[in-house]
Structure 1
Amino acid sequence: MLEIRFHGRGGQGTVVASILLAKAFFDAGYYVQTFPLFGVERRGAPVEAYLRLDKKKILIRSNIYTPDHIIVQDVKLLGSIDVTSGFKPGGTILINSKEIPDNLEPFPAFGWRLWMPPALPRRSSGNRLSEDSGSFQTSDRR
């Protein structure tokens, strides 16, 4: 069984990302289980989402405490919460950031792999409502 834990902030699409990845694995023939964890806080508060996948039925019904992989949507969370709690040795951490923060130095010491694809470029649409909701312009019409 493969277990993935997502870390992000409310409104960043962390829960949606876990659902989309679960659907992709389901379409590929896996059994999947995905669920969020968040409180009553407002947009911008830390949230977690979990994804389990396996080739056989998943009978576990609990949070993921020892993930194989971790996805971090907001690099600023690294300074405020322990995203590596329970993380298995040899796992991969995917961080949505262009720059490597200073506090990532201990990661290789635990045998963890760090992957930081360039964050998606974001271009302002000039519409405050769409920017506040996290939307971005998908086409460049002039």
Structure 2
Amino acid sequence: MAKGTGTDRLIAVELDDSIGRGPPDIEHERAVAIFDLIDENRFAPIGDTEGPYRLNLAIAERRLVFDVRQEDGTPVMTHILSLTPFRKIVKDYFVICESYYEAIKMGSPSRIEAIDMGRRGVHDEGSRLLQERLAGKIEVDFDTARRLFTLVCVLHWRG
């Protein structure tokens, strides 16, 4: 099930000041990633049934901090996720995205399609890794993991 029920979903995602702000194009991409995540998700902290949830993301010592709260702001959990396992996948994803955007400008449809398939494959790999890294703490379905991975990528993007 991609769409969460009344309790097992995110209703808000905020970025802490520790993440920093970027140029307008990066801020736009972050806003789109957050909108997509909130629009359709399944997010359930293990052992808590008092959702829906608010998620505040922060960066501390190269780790992504998930501060999960109930709708009224009551703390549910904090989960700290090392970003080190994601470095190579995020780097690969950016490289293939650059190739994709270049191919759109001058490539043949078959080249664009081949690069896009590769891009989706790397994105899926990052999504599965994120889902695995959250296992036992926060249950997310694959589509939500994809949206979260997109947000993780956008947080790394420097333009």
Q: With structure 2 as the length reference, what TM-score do the two structures score?
A: 0.24
Which protein has greater RCO, CA pairs closer than 8 Å, 6+ apart?
Answer: 2
Q: Normalization by structure 1: what TM-score?
A: 0.26
